A and B are shown apart, each in its own frame.
Chain A
Amino acid sequence: MKDWFRKGAAKISLLSGMLLLPVLFAVFFSSVAADKPQTAIDEESQQCLVCHSSHRYEITDTLTGETVTMKMHSELQIDPVEYRSATHGEFKCTDCHSADYNIHPHPVSTKFEANYTCMDCHGGDETYASFHFETIEEEYLKSIHATELGEEFTCWSCHNPHTYKLSDKLPGQLVNRVARNNAACLTCHGDINNYAVLIEKELPDLIKSHDWLPNQSLHFRKVRCIDCHSANNDSIMVAHLVLPADQSVRNCVECHSTNSILMASLYKHQAVEKRSKLGFYNGVIMNEAYLIGANRNYYLNVASIVIFIMVLIGIAIHATLRYINRHRKHGN
């Protein structure tokens, strides 16, 4: 009996293993394939990364043969892995930077290099028409960053060209996307030194200035700064019109209602659906979070109202019958 049981169990485990293995492989490889394939870095750029991917670099005097080790400024350090998987990771360094950088040590002329902005490549280009770069520029020019800081602030102040990924369209992992997005804001708004470089103002304490917000840490983890601090524009995917603090969203129900503005901002990239997922309003939010007031369930709403009305009708019938009985008794 025991043998029979053991053999049976072995057969079942073998069969389930045979069925499960391909599934596990498929899951593993599909998750791997979901990441952007890393591109190989060309030889010329690899030469740049010998120094720029390190914290320190060496320069040798060709006349004396003397070698010195220098520190690489953190802003000039490039993470090759991150760069290769970034949106612009297929470019050679000299596609954007001057060819003079191929000379070591770099000549003074490189210091006067004008940096490209997004519009220099993407402006008026039909290939990128769906991104509406012109609208992004218009919106940005109206933002507090442009009006307060002018030339001091550029696209690169928020979007690091060497690491920027077009990840906002990918579903899932919203918490990571929010963290990455907010990290860009906190580079200046959470760092007294970076803030001071841009503007001569005292850096506001973000915890204190948001102390009116219930469940502050949850909000910071689940929504982006720009979801409250910028004005949405229907034709662009990510809002670029960053507003002054006093014009930002402070009314809870702008998000916590069936008409949640988050559907036009944070969840814009997901399928736009009014009611989905077993009747939940703003169902796409529920892939990542639960938002009181916004994630109501149509069927539960109807059921609760029906139950409530039935209870009231039941009470009314009961009370009426009691009243009739009491009157009959008094009549007798």
Chain B
Amino acid sequence: MATKKIYLYPLWLRIWHHVNAVLMLALILTGVSMQYSNPDYPLIRFDIAVSVHNISGILLTLSYFYFFLGILFTSIGRHYVMKQGFIKAFYQQARYYMFGIFRGEPSPFPVNADRKFNPIQQITYNVIQHAITPVTFITGWALLYPETIILNVFGYSGILLTSLLHVAAGFLISIFLVIHLYFITVGHSVSSNMKSMITGYHEIHDDVKNNSADSEGEQSSEDSGKTK
């Protein structure tokens, strides 16, 4: 049924995404294991968890800057720019996810060569990548070198506050991960989004193309993306 394939996920981005996913998983698992450490039921041995967490955290920092340079210097960056009328668009997309999707309504912001993300994806990825992930690795580096942390902040231990911030940000990322994994299935078919992230090509189907709410604004994918 696929009518067109557009190349939306270049190799550098896919490599980053998958490496990032593995690092995030390693960090969440080892983090949970340390936070809920128990001598009788160790999820991961404490010293191994510490080493894996530290190494993964360092690699995640590098991975973040790799991604940051990627969106800064390639055309992929334009997909993350939230344009005017964002709030209205956000509401439309939220309404679709909460009601329209169950009634078989077309997605208000279907994927095309110029729009990889809907407004909810845009704000979520921006917040996760540019706010929460930096909080985790900045506080993580501080905890790796605790002598750099202010000892006392208004009567509270600086290390305690840094740790709470680190754990809270890590928790938000783990919530994001669960929802993100679920949204793999919200494609044309249950596995189509997964396939896209492996091959790099996004399939545009006739039924979606014809039904989309703003198909009049849809630009030809030939403008900017490779097509098949």
Contact = CB atoms under 8 A, between A and B. Distances in A.
Contacts of B50: 214, 252
Contacts, number: 81
A288 B159 CA distance: 10
Interface string A301-321: 000100110011001001101
A293 B157 contact: no
A127 interface: no
B2 interface: no
A165 interface: no
Given A252-B50, A311-B175, A293 B35 contact: yes
Contact of A315 (B101, B163, B171, B179): B179
Contact of B39 (A214, A217, A257): A257
B102 A325 contact: yes
Nearest to A304: B171
Given A253-B37, A289-B157, A311 B178 contact: yes
Interface in A214-245: 214-215, 217-218
A331 B102 CA distance: 15
B108 to A, nearest CB: 17
A318 B39 contact: no
A254 B46 CA distance: 10
Given A315-B179, A315-B182, A325-B102, A256 B37 contact: yes
Interface string B32-59: 0011111100100011001100100000
A286 B155 CA distance: 11
Interface bracket on B: 20 to 34
B46 A325 contact: no
A298 to B, nearest CB: 12
Contacts of B54: 214
A288 B155 CA distance: 11
A296 interface: yes
B175 A308 contact: yes
A289 B186 CA distance: 46
B37 A290 contact: no
A212 interface: yes
Nearest to B48: A252
Interface in A281-296: 286, 288-290, 292-293, 295-296
Contacts of B104: 325, 329
Nearest to B144: A215
Contact of A256 (B46, B97, B167, B175): B46
B83 interface: no
Contact of A252 (B37, B102, B182): B37
Interface string B182-210: 10011000000000000000000000000
A93 B144 CA distance: 50
Given A256-B46, A325-B103, A307 B175 contact: yes
A69 interface: no
Nearest to B167: A300
B69 interface: no
Contacts of A182: none
A277 B172 CA distance: 24
B27 to A, nearest CB: 14
A292 B36 CA distance: 9
B102 A290 contact: no
A322 B157 CA distance: 48
Nearest to A308: B175
Contact of B34 (A256, A258, A311, A322): A256
A253 B38 contact: yes
B157 A252 contact: no
B22 interface: no
B47 A212 contact: yes
B46 A315 contact: no
A45 interface: no
A46 interface: no
B157 A286 contact: yes
A99 to B, nearest CB: 50
A110 B178 CA distance: 78
B146 interface: yes
B46 A318 contact: no
Contact of B38 (A217, A257, A288, A292): A257
B178 A215 contact: no
Contacts of A290: 157, 159-160, 163
B178 A315 contact: yes
A259 B39 contact: yes
A322 B102 contact: yes
B142 to A, nearest CB: 12
B177 to A, nearest CB: 10
Interface string A113-152: 0000000000000000000000000000000000000000
User: Lowest 7 CB-CB distances: which A-B pairs, in order?
Assistant: A252-B46, A293-B37, A290-B160, A290-B159, A253-B39, A321-B102, A253-B37
Given A254-B39, A258-B38, 19 more contacts: A217-B147, A252-B47, A252-B50, A253-B37, A253-B42, A286-B157, A290-B157, A292-B37, A292-B163, A293-B35, A295-B160, A296-B36, A308-B175, A308-B178, A318-B182, A319-B185, A322-B101, A322-B102, A325-B103
